[in-house]
């Protein structure tokens, strides 16, 4: 009598994994191209120049060359995945990506349309692949040459000037600005408040020609020396150091600290503040015309987009500071202060 237990029935063969679809291969290729170009820009570049922001165009063109159907859709999905990877790996901030979207999205679409147009007239697959490879190689070469020739110290210098009328003599306005810390309420537009390093407090720690100032903003503290001190007439300073403490996913490259794997000089990826100056001018009727000018070097290209954006943010921020100073002085003086005509609102 055979007591051997019966053998289990044989398992059905495991079906092989389906091969990747052509759309999946094109998506993966675009993803690799985008990552390679980003790493190349970080390795070769000293700033966010034209070569960096042309990478989405190259990614879109490569996808247009390889994708037989829906190249624009595939390129936009790839762009979204690349931005998500940059945020998750803490290489880019959420606000950085949002502000760049109006620039990189049209670039990606135009690239996809250019690539699909070339594909329509070039029917040989190998030739299309060679064109895509040459595009990527050319973009990397542009990044390397641009990075070698780039000098952030010669980048475009920008200025933003704001003026306000205050019903108090220049000496009182100067004392109100320098004697006590100036605290700014967080009444900023939402698109500025959501993640940009907005100022919250300004103080003169050490008064005088060789003194120091401190500016507290939403992502940390900036400090610098006083370069001009003329009571009742002028106050100027520059920033030479930062102490950054920002949340990982609520960051911009302007507010990035060394505890995220970068060096302190990465604080100046967006711009380098070269100085700020207050001028106190007597106004008719005994008041003061207070003018504030801030200057910086822009490290973002192209100018038609980021130049306007930075100037708008700077002008709005400093005008809010002047309004706060006027409110403090006029509340202290009460109705006894001299009445003067208000200046027209600045162009924002």
Higher pLDDT, 264 or 170: 170
pLDDT band at 191 (very low <50, low <70, confident <90, very high): low
Structure tokens at 30: 């675009």
pLDDT band at 134 (very low <50, low <70, confident <90, very high): very high
Q: What is the pLDDT of residue 42?
A: 81
Q: Give the separation between CA 213 and CA 222, rounded to whole angstroms.
A: 8
Structure tokens at 206: 């050490």
Residues 6+ apart with CB under 8 A from 11: none
Q: Give the separation between CA 140 and CA 292, rounded to whole angstroms.
A: 42
135 and 159 assigned to the same domain: no
Q: What residues pair up with 293 in beta bridges, in sequence order?
A: 161, 277
Give the torsion through C-alpha atoms of 201, 207, 213, 214, to 10 deg.
-40
117 and 102 assigned to the same domain: yes
132 and 205 assigned to the same domain: no
Domain membership flag for residue 322: yes
Got the DSSP string for 247-276? Answer: -TTS--GGG--GGGTS-GGGGGSSEEEEEE
181 and 322 assigned to the same domain: yes
CB 66 within 8 A of CB 85: no
Range of the domain at 49: 22-148
CB 94 within 8 A of CB 87: yes
Higher pLDDT, 274 or 230: 230
CB atoms within 10 A of CB 35: 15
283 and 309 assigned to the same domain: yes
Asked if the model's pLDDT at residue 339 lies above 80, the reply is: no
Got the DSSP string for 106-161? Answer: HHHHHHHHHHHHHHHH---HHHHHHHHHHHHHHHHHHHHHHHHH--GGGSPEEEEE
CB 135 within 8 A of CB 61: yes
Most confident of 90-94, 201-205, 247-251: 201-205
pLDDT band at 254 (very low <50, low <70, confident <90, very high): very low
Residues 6+ apart with CB under 8 A from 324: 182, 183, 184, 185
Structure tokens at 27: 């998506």
Chosen domain end from 105, 131, 148: 148
- Alpha carbon 189 to its chain's center: 17
CATH number at residue 235: 3.30.530.20
Domain count, the chain: 2
pLDDT band at 92 (very low <50, low <70, confident <90, very high): confident
Q: Report the pLDDT averaged over residues 269-295.
A: 86
Q: For strand 241-244 and strand 182-183, is the pairing parallel, antiparallel, or unpaired?
A: unpaired
- Give SS3 for 105: helix
Domain membership flag for residue 347: no
Domain membership flag for residue 329: yes
pTM value? 0.73
Domain membership flag for residue 12: no
302 and 248 assigned to the same domain: yes
Angle of CA points 341, 344, 348, to nearest 5°: 150
140 and 274 assigned to the same domain: no
Greatest alpha-carbon span in the chain: 123
Q: What is the pLDDT of residue 137?
A: 95
185 and 95 assigned to the same domain: no
Domain membership flag for residue 14: no
278 and 310 assigned to the same domain: yes
Q: What is the pLDDT of residue 190?
A: 59
Domain membership flag for residue 234: yes
Domain membership flag for residue 176: yes
Any idea which residue has 């247009």 for tokens? 64
CB 317 within 8 A of CB 184: no
Chosen domain end from 121, 148, 175: 148
- Distances in Å between the alpha carbon of 167 and those of 84, 202, 266, 325? 51, 21, 42, 11
- In 3D space, the residue among 242, 143, 264, 147 whose CA is nearest the CA of residue 197 turns out to be 242
Q: What is the pLDDT of residue 343?
A: 38
């Amino acid at each position: 009598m055979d007591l051997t237990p019966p053998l289990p029935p044989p398992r059905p063969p495991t079906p092989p994994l389906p091969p990747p679809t052509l759309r999946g291969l094109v998506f993966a290729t675009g993803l690799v191209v985008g990552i390679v170009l980003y790493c190349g820009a970080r390795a070769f570049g000293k700033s966010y120049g034209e070569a960096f922001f042309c990478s989405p165009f190259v990614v879109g063109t490569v996808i247009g060359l390889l994708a037989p159907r829906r190249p624009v859709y595939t390129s936009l999905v790839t762009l979204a995945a690349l931005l998500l990877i940059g945020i998750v790996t803490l290489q880019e901030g959420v606000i950085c990506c949002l502000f760049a979207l109006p620039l990189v999205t049209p670039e990606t679409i135009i690239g996809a349309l250019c690539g699909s147009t070339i594909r329509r007239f070039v029917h040989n697959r190998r030739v299309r692949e060679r064109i895509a490879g040459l595009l990527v190689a050319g973009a990397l070469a542009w990044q390397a040459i641009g990075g070698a020739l780039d000098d952030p110290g010669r980048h475009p210098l920008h200025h933003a000037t704001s003026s306000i009328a205050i019903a108090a003599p220049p000496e009182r306005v100067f004392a109100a600005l320098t004697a006590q810390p100036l605290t700014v309420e967080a009444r900023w537009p939402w698109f500025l408040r959501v993640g940009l390093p907005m100022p919250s407090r300004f103080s003169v720690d050490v008064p005088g020609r060789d003194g120091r100032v401190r500016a507290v903003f939403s992502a940390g503290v900036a400090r610098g020396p006083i370069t001009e001190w003329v009571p009742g007439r002028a106050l100027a300073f520059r920033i030479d150091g930062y102490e950054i403490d920002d949340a990982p996913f609520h960051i911009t490259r302007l507010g990035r600290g060394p505890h995220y794997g970068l060096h302190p000089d990465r604080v100046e990826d967006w711009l380098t503040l070269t100085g700020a100056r207050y001028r106190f001018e007597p106004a008719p009727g005994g008041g003061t015309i207070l003018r504030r000018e801030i200057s910086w070097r822009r490290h973002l290209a192209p100018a038609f987009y980021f130049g306007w954006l930075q100037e708008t943010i700077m002008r709005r921020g400093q005008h809010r500071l002047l309004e706060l100073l006027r409110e403090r002085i006029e509340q202290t003086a009460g109705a006894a202060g001299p009445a003067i005509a208000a200046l027209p609102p600045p162009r924002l």
